Structures are given as structure tokens and as C-alpha cells.
Structure 1
Amino acid sequence: MIAFFSIVIVVCIITWGYFRWVNLSQFWKRRGVPHLPPHPILGSLTFLQRKNPATWMIEMYQNFNTPYVGIWLFWRPALIINSPEIAKNVLVKDFDYFRDRFLSSGSSDPVGGLNLFTTNDPLWSSLRRRLTSTFTSSKLKAMQPLIDTKTSELVKRIQSTEDKTKISLRYLFTDFTTDIFATAAFGIKTNATLTGKDPMRTITAAFMKFDLYRGLNWISIFFFPKLVDIFRFSLFPKSATDHFRRVFNIVSQQRLSKRNSESKDFLDVLLKMKEEGANAEAISDDIIIAQAAIFLFGGFETSGSILSFATYELAFHQDVQEKLYNELKEVQMQSKDGRLDITKLAELPYINAVAKETLRKYVPMGWLDRVAAMDYKVDDNLTIPAGTPIYVNAIGMQHDSNIYPDPETFNPDRFLPENAKNIQPYTYLPFGDGPRHCIGKRFAQISVRHGIANLILNYQIVPVPGAPKPNEVEFEKQGLFLVPGQHLYVNFVSRNQD
């Protein structure tokens, strides 16, 4: 009898699952939305661990010449936005419908779940308002000594390496960006740029490695957040969060004993935020550490990746490199001490065009996720129910040949002032847009500009014989950011040879 009832229960569950799947699989068809047939388990996510999500997003954009495409995150319907007009509505005009991200690191991972990138309202609004003061022009200009020191060490690192064709660009530049972002976030001195070794670099190196388990963590956080608390997944490895806590406790005590009332850097802002509280509630150590952690994590890998791709492209485009060198040399000669001022470098048209073109082609996170808080009318033909995830396909638009002719070609001239004015709004979104745009945009731009500038002024960058061309480079398949999936090498030829 027990066996009979067990069989009946199993049959009922299977029947329920079957009819539920049939209903869900027809979700976008009933609404007349273009889509590909979903996998019965993975939905539209069959590409995971086989190709980078950015590559898949470009394919979805190019395969569907439509304003939007229906997909499934496992069994959950979601919508990819391929239209700049709808992107503007989602990110800016109708922001109140899309204040929150879909991704979440859950309550079991406070450091991963309480940071500005992953958290939602009301905490997000409070954090955003308070952290914005970190990135004023005066605060960023105060970073000049740090930037000068680390770019000088970057040049020395290359100079001291006997075989310059054996320097992995990704490791070189993430050593550099680890130093810059760790110092800004935690107020500590690090030595990764010169030596490639540092306790904080050990942590960021762990961030760059994805095995099957960590891949499952990220897949759940980004595409199936309900699993995060069930399996206690986390955005950062536990060893990293434990290290963050130790470091932050030490440096915060040191800073509190020396600091005055004025907030000078990111660490000061975090400590002041803790003292004052937010929304009449105390700010926990988890919240404070989470902001420092995401500033480091969100900056070191993405900026390091952009520097890697920019350097590699410049090696294969000597005309672009020479034009950039001439622009930078002129500014350097005008400087009394030969240093590159943050403000002046930000005003140079060609280095900014080079950085923007790199971000167009290799935007680290080319899709912007949001979730509808209420039923939302996308256009006259489609209304989506509350709770539907939305993905603005930024990288798809940035590779659209109708918007950016010959999009696989590295062409910084697209972003020179006389040409950039013709680019259609909301087709270039490397830092997002609207209230949830990347808060660290200007700091990242400074790091990238100065890294490129100091390299080009000191070295001619040339390809290594037999190296893959830029469009042949493989991307990381196990991670979710668009970063190199293989070591990239160039040759650094000194411009100052006697």
C-alpha cells in the first residue's frame, strides 16, 4: 500500500512538472515575443561554462533583428532588450519600475549581498547617496600621488623583466589595479605592481580563478538567486571575506586614531558612514566591509582587463599607437616635472577615444540586469508581469554594424569629438546609465588612462611573432565578466634606448 501511494505521489509530481513546463515554455509565444525554444532544465542558459555570456549576448542580438528577445533563466521567463529607446526607458525614464537588480547574493553572504552592486532598495539608495561623495573631482585629484607612484612602478616592473615577451598582460595589469583599488578601498600600501606578490594580490588572484563550484556560485547569484541561501553560495570566496575583515579592522583602527573630520578617501567615507548611521539605523561592519570589497573586486579585474585588451590592440595597430604617443608626448613636454596631470589627461581627445573604443569592443559586463517591480508596458505590443528580469544588451548594441560600422575593427576615431556626436544615444553603455550607473566610473577611467599613457610614453608595443590577432583571442568561459581566457603577450621596446 505504501509503495502504491509512493508511486502515485511520484506520478503526480511528474505530471505537475510536465504541465508546468509546457505552460512556461509557451510564455513568450503567447505574447508574440521572438525566442528560441528553451531547454527543459536550463532554459536559455545552455551556453554557461561553454562560452562567455558576452559572446552569447552578441549572438542573441545578431540572430534576432528585433527590439527584444524572450529567454528563460532555467524556468523563469526573462527579456533581453536590444533597443536603445527601450533601454533608455528601463535605465532612466521608468527607473522607478526598475530600481532593483535581479542578481542577489542572499542573506547567507552578507559581504557579497550588502554591497552597492548587489543590494536593492532601501539600502541601495542610502549607500549610493553616501558613497557618491567619494568620487568628486577634488577627491579624485587627490589620488594623483597614488596614480603616479603605481604607474612609475608599472614601468619599472617591465623594465626589470629580462624577457619582456613573457609578461602576461592580464597578470601584469591586475597586479597594477590591485594596488590602486586596494589602497583606495582599504587604505593600505601594497607591492603587487613591482613584485607581482602581495597578501591582497593573493586574494584578487583567487577572484580570477573559476572552478566548477565557484561557477555554480556565480550562476546562482546572477541567474537563480533563490538557490543562494539554500546552498549558502557566496560572491567572494570565504578566505577572501575573512581576510577583508582582518585587514579592515586593523586599518580602520589606525585611521580612526589619526583622521580629522574631513573625509579624504574611500576608507574615510566608509568610516564616517558607520559613525553617522543611515536611516536612523546603525551601519553594520558587514555593510562597511562589503563596500570596500566590491570597490576592490569591481575595479581591479575590469580595469585590468581593459588595460590588457587596449595594450594588445595597440600592438597590432601601430598607426593608432603612434598617434597616441604624439598626443601624450606633447602634454608631457608641457609638464614641468614630466608627470601627467589627472585633469589634463582627462581632456585629451585621443587617449579617451582609445579607452572608449576598448570599452566598446570589450566591455567587461555588457548586460545590465534589472527586475520589474510592477507590471510594465514595454511597448504597444508587450506588457511584462511584475518580477520579470530584464537584460539591457549593451554589448550587442556596441557590436551592431549599423551603429558602429565594421564593429570588430579597433577604430578609436569613432570616439573623436567630431564623430562621437553622431553616435546614437543609449547604444554605448560600458558603465550603464541612469541612477544605477557605475559609481566608480571616473576612478576607473583615471586608472586606465594613466596606465596606457605611461606605457606608451616609455615603450613601443609590438606583437609577439605567432601571437593570435585580437579577434582570435579567447574569452574566459567559466566566469561571467568579459576578460581574456588565455595569456596575452606583447613585446615592450624601450623608447628611451641610448
Structure 2
Amino acid sequence: MYVFLIIPLCVLLLWLYVKWTGMKNYWTKLGVPQGQVHPIFGSMTFLQKRNPHVWLTELYQKFKPAPYVGIWVFWRRGLVVNCPELSRQILVKDADVFRNRNLASGKSDPMGALNLFTVDDPLWSSLRRRLTLVFTGSKLRGWTPLYQSKVSDLVYRINSDCEKGIKINLRSLFADFSTDIIGESSFGVQCQATRNNTGPLREMTKEFEKYSTWRGLAWSSIFFLPEVVDIFRFSFWPKHTVHYFRKVFKMMVEERGGYEREMDGKRDLLDALLKMKQDAKKDNQDMDLDILLSNAMIFLQGGYDTSSTSLLYAAYELAHHPEIQQTLYEELKQAKEALGSKEFDAESLATLPYLDAVIKETLRKYPIMGWLDRLALKDYKVNDQLTIPANTVVYVNAVGIQRDSKYFPEPEVFRPERFLPENAQSIVPYSYMPFGEGPRMCIGKRIGQNTVRYGLAAVILNFELLPLPEYPKPNDVPVEKKGLFYMPGIPLSVEFKRRK
């Protein structure tokens, strides 16, 4: 009887050995550098042990100056691109070949599968075209009073917490602020998290910040092995937050007059989502409610998380670089004096070169998502030496490129001067890609830039930031291991000293 068990097991082990042998020699035979390969996990043995940004940076440095490195994303061929020119070729020039991403959720998780971040063409193109209306220049200018109100709340909150002797958690502070911005600008919901750390949308974003082992496995599968998502019924977001958001979304729609009230799609994100459903109905099509909910949730997470993390790292670096902080303060002070009784608006903040440089340097050193994944839809000639087969996943190694001393000397040093106008010509095209490039670049780039500009300007104008001795220096801050984005692995804080 045991023979009937042993024979299949031996066949399986033999198959695994043959498969592994082919994998570990595949890229080498093509003349492409390749690291060690695990028979099951391929090159992905780092998952849940190290952040992908750390792994990509190490991979870049190990095989430098190779323009690309062969990997195995479990049992799928992968190519990590470490070259700005090849990045442009893949993301822009030949974008039609790389329309889709490798990450995806499954049928068991429609909320995670149907949003602009994860969905493939042709639905992606339709969603992108319709939702772009939300982020026009005129729309962003209309949000000026909202930004001005929220930066007042931000200053009030910092003063209040300091008076109470509260050691301010930077991530929590800026997450409260950015959640309010997204909540009110995208959904028209009155939010007060900046003042008191509470509110229905903030309760959701707090849950987004928790990375348990199970959620880490879920995200690792969605981003790198979507084929198993349905097997284990993984979900992009914790299921209880999805149930909660359904209730909140229903309440927001009812306040707008329901699904039948005619929308022009131009007011905000919620308006655009409702109009999409109405347009589909006019064309005798049924747009699933989950498409609306999924895109509302991804804008909430993507908008609040990226902006709050950028503000966190900017504030932390400035606390450890008083000379940079002083230069920024002088620029903001002069600009504010020139405005007289007026408050900053998006246009006046966008004209400040040193503020812009500080933010760009923060995003260079701390790219929130430091890789850009694309899936080859057909066989693709990378260059005269290499052609990759269809279904090869390609990762543009943005974090590796942005930390290469060839493009940014002393990359571990926080140096905003790199991005001042007089130095702009020295930046190699496609060596700096914090928002991605090409058709699938970040749709919320402008609202994210505005959020960080307003928030950072308000903080530096009103407070001097000082380092606290019990916290590590910026280059020693650990990175979150279970999550996939570039987030600090520990709470961070600085001293806020009120300016006279």
C-alpha cells in the first residue's frame, strides 16, 4: 500500500527537481545575471522577512552596473530593470506591450480586484478616463479653502498635544491630516481627525496601517502570486473594513440623493463614481456596485497613505538637518510676508523652489512604492542581446536607480539642492520616478503634491523641528517588514518647538 504513496511522491520530487534545475540556469543561459533560486519561492524568499525596497536596493547594488537582472517570481519569469533608458522604453515608448500589471486580487475579493490600481485593460482604460476628471487644475484650485482649513487644524493639533505633554507620533498625526483631505475632497464628508484623531474614515485608515502575518501573506500573494489569492481567499483589505465602508458609502450616496439623482461627475470622486454608474445604465449596461466601492477605497488608501508617509519622512529628515530646515523656513517666511494678509494657495506654494526640492528629495530617498511592475503581453525584444517571452513580469527598480551614486552622488545623504532649478539639467531622465511614468503613472499625483506642500509649509512656518535622542537617525530607521510599501517599522517622533 505504501508503494502507491511513495511513487507519486517520488514523481513529484523529481518534477520539482527538474523544474528547479531549469529555473536556476534559465537566465544565466541567456547571458543575464541571476541570483540564487529557491525550488518553490524562486527569488522571493525575502517576503515577510525584508521589505521589497530593501531587497531591490541590495539586488541593484549586487549586480551593478548590469542594466537588468533575471529573477523568478515563484515559478514565473521576472526581469528587474536597473536602467533609466530601458525604464523609459518599457513604461512609455512600448507601454502598449506593458498595459497590465502583475498584481491582482481574485474573484473571492471583488473589492480588491476592481480598482484602478489592480484591474487590467480594458476596464482600466475606462476607469482611468472617467476618473481623471476629478484631478483637473480647476478642481484642485477649488479645494483651496479645504486645505487652508485643515492646515489650521494641523497647527492647532500640534499645539494642543504639546501643551498636554503628548509625544506626537508622526505617522498618526499626518495620517489624520491626509485622511481628512481625502475624505472631504473626494467624498464631501466632514472630517475632524486632524483635530481629534477620530472619525469614520480615520477608523478605516487606522486599520489599513495594521500588518498582521495574515495580511502580509495576503499582500505578498496579491502583488507577486495572484494565482493563489482565490485558493486562500486572501483580500486586499481586511474584510471588516470592507463591511464598514459599505455602510459609510451607502450613507454618503444617500446624502447625495441616491443613485438616481443626475450627476455631472465634476464635483468630486464620489460624484464621478456615481456618474459612471448612471452612464452605464443609460447604455443598458450594469455597473457592479463593487466597482464603485473598490475605487473609492483605493483612493482613500492611496491618497492618505502616500501623503502621510512623505510628510513623516520629510519632517524627520528636517529635524535632523537644521540648516536645511532653516533655509526652508526662510523661503516660506519671505513668501508668506509677500502675500500679506492672504493665505498660501496651491499656486503660491508650487512656485517655491526649495520647498519643491525638499519634497522631491524626500520622495527620492523614500519612494513609497519603489518598483513599477508590468506584464509583457507578448514576446518583447529588450535589446539586441535579450528577448523575453510573453507573460514575463518586469519590475522597474525605481528605488535602486534613485539610490545609485551614478545618478545621485552620496545617495544616503538628504540633499534637496539636487532638485533646485539650477541643477535640474543634471537629473538623468527616468532616474527619478516617485509617481511612476507612462499611461499608468499615479492619477493622484497633483493632489498628493498639494497635500504635502500645504502640510509641510504649515509645520515649518509654525514650529522648529528638533530630534529626540531616544529615536534613531534617519538612515538607521528600520523599514516595515510585513508590509510592501516603504514605511518605518517603528513609531517616530520629533520635538515641535513653537516659533516666536
What TM bracket, shorter-length normalisation? over 0.9
Contact 1:50 1:477 in 2 (8 A): yes
Distance in 1 (CA, whole Å) between partners of 2:18 and 2:482 is: 33
Amino acid at match of 1:382: L
The yes-or-no answer on 1:292 pairing with 2:296 is yes
Q: Deviations over 1:72-97 (max 9, x none)?
A: 11222211000111100110000111
Q: Deviations over 1:57-114 (max 9, x none)?
A: 1111111110000111122221100011110011000011100000001121111110
Alignment partner, residue 160 of structure 2: 160
Alignment partner, residue 185 of structure 1: 186
Give 1:455-494 correspondences, 5 Å limit: 455-494=459-498
Unaligned runs of 5+ in 1: none
SS at match of 2:396: strand
The alignment-based identity, stated in percent, is 51
Alignment partner, residue 84 of structure 1: 84
How far 1:164 moved relative to its partner?
A: 5.7
Distance in 1 (CA, whole Å) between partners of 2:148 and 2:111 is: 31
Amino acid at match of 2:73: L
The yes-or-no answer on 1:121 pairing with 2:121 is yes
RMSD: 1.6
Alignment partner, residue 317 of structure 1: 321
SS at match of 2:190: coil
Give 1:92-171 correspondences, 5 Å limit: 92-161=92-161, 162=163, 166-171=167-172
Matched residues, number: 495
Contact 1:263 1:272 in 2 (8 A): no
SS at match of 1:277: helix
Give 1:37-436 correspondences, 5 Å limit: 37-65=36-64, 66-161=66-161, 162=163, 166-256=167-257, 261=264, 263-277=266-280, 281-436=285-440
Q: Which range moves more in the overlay, 382-391 or 21-30?
A: 21-30
Q: TM-score, normalised by structure 1?
A: 0.96
Distance in 1 (CA, whole Å) between partners of 2:187 and 2:38 is: 44
SS at match of 2:439: helix
Contact 1:165 1:492 in 2 (8 A): no
How far 1:260 moved relative to its partner?
A: 6.0
Distance in 1 (CA, whole Å) between partners of 2:358 and 2:156 is: 24
How far 1:382 moved relative to its partner?
A: 0.8
Contact 2:48 2:217 in 1 (8 A): no
Distance in 2 (CA, whole Å) between partners of 1:204 and 1:428 is: 28
Contact 1:52 1:479 in 2 (8 A): yes
Distance in 2 (CA, whole Å) between partners of 1:197 and 1:261 is: 31
Distance in 1 (CA, whole Å) between partners of 2:120 and 2:414 is: 37
Q: Which range moves more in the overlay, 43-52 or 400-409?
A: 43-52
The yes-or-no answer on 1:23 pairing with 2:22 is yes
How far 1:256 moved relative to its partner?
A: 3.1
How far 1:336 moved relative to its partner?
A: 4.4
Distance in 1 (CA, whole Å) between partners of 2:490 and 2:5 is: 51
Distance in 1 (CA, whole Å) between partners of 2:269 and 2:79 is: 36
Q: TM-score, normalised by structure 2?
A: 0.96
SS at match of 2:71: strand
Q: Deviations over 1:223-244 (max 9, x none)?
A: 1000011111110111111122
Q: Deviations over 1:399-426 (max 9, x none)?
A: 0001101111111110011101220000
How far 1:184 moved relative to its partner?
A: 2.7
Distance in 2 (CA, whole Å) between partners of 1:383 and 1:251 is: 50
Give 1:440-451 correspondences, 5 Å limit: 440-451=444-455
Q: Which range moves more in the overlay, 329-338 or 291-300?
A: 329-338
Amino acid at match of 2:91: L
Contact 1:325 1:457 in 2 (8 A): yes
How far 1:384 moved relative to its partner?
A: 0.7
Unaligned runs of 5+ in 2: none
